A and B are shown apart, each in its own frame.
Chain A
Amino acid sequence: MMKMKKIRISLQDVVPFAAFIIIFSFFAITSKGSVLSAFNLSILLDQSVMTIIVGCGALFVVAQGSIDLSVGVNLAFTSVVATWAANAAGDWLLIPVALIVGTLVGAFTGTVVSRFKVPSFMVTIAMLIGMRGIVNYIQSFISTQAIPESMMILSEPYVKYPAFLLIIIVLAYVFEFTKVGKYCKAIGENETTARFVGVPVTFMKIVAFAICGLTVGLGSLFSLSSNGGTSQQIGLFFEMKVAMAIFFGGVLVTGGTSAKLYKVLLGSFSITIIVNGLNHIGLSQTQYSQSIQGILLLLILGVTILASKKSRKSAQLPDEAEAIDEQAEEKTAHLK
């Protein structure tokens, strides 16, 4: 029954798994098993939900070789506006307003990036600073920061987890099995090629940022319902957590075909475990956990990049003169 099948695993794809397993085992052992308790595992999942949802959305942007650093501030903006709308005009408005506002902010970012050809890094950093001001302004005059009582139903496990699963399945489908995902990766591989083949590059960039924005809208619903409302601190440094989860999972900054959805899941869990695990072994002060997170990120990025270089090299057929020419070219590029 078993047919011999050549299994293709590149080193690059192994790194996120290895990192996840090593980190998980490390904390499982040093915490004497307390990390593995059923209660803690459910906490781990809860703590990862936001990062995973928004991470999967941001993956569309990262696959194109861009980055969205405005997801944190978008989360704050969306939460505040949705809370305001729900309190002012009707409880049920919370959901559509959150989704629409999040998507619109994303689409706006995508439009600026693609139409005016400004690097996404700069656009989203500008958003990160500028929009925080708007958020603070709105918070200064809205009467309450709490969401309507009836909307707390969203945090009930029987609503939350099925919704979470559904969102991930839909995003995974769109990213891995439709033209949208393939085009995003093609743009990350080589934007000129994508354009020359006939991929609508400008449109796809707007779509990617809009999807990212939509997941921020979804994320804001999870965040609002589990916290009961907004706060001054909402969304602070969230963009960093999302970016870390994606790169931790082994997606390259250049995007392209290295972008895979499962990597975001792994990366998100790894990051959550680090924070959670440090708590369990008594290193809860942020100065430790933050420095350790930073060091680990550097380490894993280094290994991922090395691995991707290595797998690229081993893929070369040595008997092709042209392949050799390219190596020669690399060599001279160094010399220059």
Chain B
Amino acid sequence: MSADIMLEIKELNKYFGPTHANKDISFTIKKGEIKGLIGENGSGKSTLISQIAGLYASDSGTMLLNGEPYSPSSPVDANNHAISIVMQELGVIGSLPAGVNVFLGRTKQFTKNGIVNLKSLNKAAAEQFKKWDLPYVPLNKLTDGMMIETRKIIELARALSVEPQLLLLDEITQSLSMNNRNKLYELINKLKSMGRSVIVISHDVEELIHITDSITVLRDGEVVGDVISNDTSADDIKRMMVGREISGDYYRDDMKPEYGDDVVVSVRNLTVPGEIEDVSFDVHESEILGFCGLSDSGIHTVGKAVYGLLKPSGGQVYLNSKELVIKKASKALRNNMAYVPKDRDNEALMIHASIHDNFNLPSLTELQGSIGYLSPGKLKKLALEMTNKLSVKCTDIYQTMDALSGGNKQKVNLGRWLAKDIKLLILDCPTRGVDVGVKAYIYSLIKEAKKNGTATILISDELTEVLGMSDRLIVMKDGRVNDVIHRDEDFTEQSVIKVMI
């Protein structure tokens, strides 16, 4: 065996009950290699790296780490072998400060007589941030209430603090904004130059080709392709993933801004202290208004503030058709506005409740009969119709949300609003963590809403997404509107990035 192979995986199998999640997976990763892992939701990517990270034991097959047999019994064991992971779903403990989260489970080194020395712990954590050039995170603050992006960075710091020879990243870029993505790419390159290896899982094909040396494609638990990144194209990869040709244009194909004259919502001088300042814009009937910006630009805050979830210190959100000011989310709900948050599991869905209950929640007012009667039949009908219309993969409508895959959760998250007559739809990163197929479907839903006259505010960390869908694009910087670009103007990534930075 050649000396430059770090990890060799041979015929790995994993079953979950009757499901064969990984079938005879074999591949190798060299020292200093950046390997991409891609496949649709449910193709077994996460299962595979969970086995490498010691979260699951394999049912059969072997792994060789530097030529030695390797079968980690736990993530700690994997850490001891210099392998660490950043998982897809959030893995920080909200009631603990950021610094403690970095050394979670390893606070012993800072403990004296049973007392953890927070000062030296935070110092060590700060050193990690400095060493790897990670963006600033307030280490003393509780992670509860921090943005997804910040929490992801804390997890990344935790993974890096074990000095990994092999780092596993499960869909981390989707939670990061442009500038921090670039930082991550630099970090990956740095690890590579140190002779360390990285496995990256991402749904973003272009990104993967760009940052990796080689890509392994999984479908239904099997390896269906193993290619050198430089010799492949995005279409090749997509074809391998779904096993058939798929059309490339899931965004809009026209290049003209097209929307009605009627202003649906006017936002004037909206200010949320420390987040956004003096933000004003109009969104029209049938318009898709994009928002993009770097991580501290405040684009996500705009969504929350417009839906009345934050108390602005100044300015107002004015609903033209009814001539009223939206101050509270309950008022927004009553007046046919909708908000799809970025954090699906914690903010959007009742994760332990059924698909039925989640579909119905925003429509309860509309479903009421006389004396407030909510007929179980009506509720069931709505849930069934929407489940079928959106083809949500589930056993029945009474299944709990936590059993669904990310893509199907997102269908419910967005779809439940489409059961109503919505005037303004606010979407915050609607395609985070969903695969190509569902992504295309979500875009088609947005296009359909546009056709029906709905005004849409599309907030996204994915530049290609807002460029592909918006009529107008508002570029924000440091909480202010920096520029408004129309679809028929200079609508390219380069020109937008120039304004963003």
- In the complex, what residues of A have CB within 8 A of residue B354's CB? 257
**B418 nearest CB across to chain A (Å):** 14
B351-A190 in contact (CB<8A) = yes
> B75 interface residue, CB < 8 Å from A?
yes
- Main secondary structure, interface of A, reads helix
Tell me which of B16, B45, B376, B404 contacts A318 (CB under 8 A): B16
Q: Of residues A8, A200, A322, A326, which shows the largest number of chain B Cβ atoms within 10 Å of its Cβ?
A: A322
Tally of contact residues, A, Cβ under 8 A:
44
How far is it, in angstroms, between the C-alpha of A180 and the C-alpha of B396 when the chains are bound?
A: 26
> B251 interface residue, CB < 8 Å from A?
no
Tally of contact residues, B, Cβ under 8 A:
74
> A186 interface residue, CB < 8 Å from B?
yes
**A204 nearest CB across to chain B (Å):** 9
A193-B372 in contact (CB<8A) = no
> B479 interface residue, CB < 8 Å from A?
no
Q: With A256-B352, A336-B93 given, is the CB distance from A326 to B402 under 8 Å?
A: yes
Closest to A187 in B: B350
How far is it, in angstroms, between the C-alpha of A329 and the C-alpha of B55 when the chains are bound?
A: 9
B42-A319 in contact (CB<8A) = yes
Closest to A313 in B: B403
> A321 interface residue, CB < 8 Å from B?
yes
> A315 interface residue, CB < 8 Å from B?
yes
A192-B18 in contact (CB<8A) = no
B364-A200 in contact (CB<8A) = no
Tell me which of B43, B88, B332, B350 contacts A189 (CB under 8 A): B350
- In the complex, what residues of A have CB within 8 A of residue B56's CB? 328
CB neighbors of A among B1-31 (8 A)? 16-19, 21
Give a binary string over B304-336; 1 marks a CB under 8 Å from any A CB, 0 the rest: 000111000000000000000000111111100
> B76 interface residue, CB < 8 Å from A?
yes
**A167 nearest CB across to chain B (Å):** 17
A196-B341 in contact (CB<8A) = yes
Tell me which of A318, A326, A328 contacts B18 (CB under 8 A): A318
- In the complex, what residues of A have CB within 8 A of residue B395's CB? 317
Interface residues of A (CB under 8 A from B): 6, 8, 177-180, 182-183, 185-186, 189-190, 192-200, 203, 256-257, 312, 315-326, 328-329, 331-333, 335-336
A189-B352 in contact (CB<8A) = yes
- In the complex, what residues of A have CB within 8 A of residue B223's CB? none
> B104 interface residue, CB < 8 Å from A?
yes
> B89 interface residue, CB < 8 Å from A?
yes
Closest to B74 in A: A335
B361-A197 in contact (CB<8A) = yes
B332-A198 in contact (CB<8A) = yes
How far is it, in angstroms, between the C-alpha of A186 and the C-alpha of B330 when the chains are bound?
A: 14
Closest to B350 in A: A189
Tell me which of A8, A182, A192, A199 contacts B374 (CB under 8 A): A182
Q: With A178-B374, A315-B400, A324-B16 given, is the CB distance from A335 to B45 under 8 Å?
A: no
A193-B350 in contact (CB<8A) = yes
Q: With A193-B350, A198-B333 given, is the CB distance from A323 to B404 under 8 Å?
A: yes
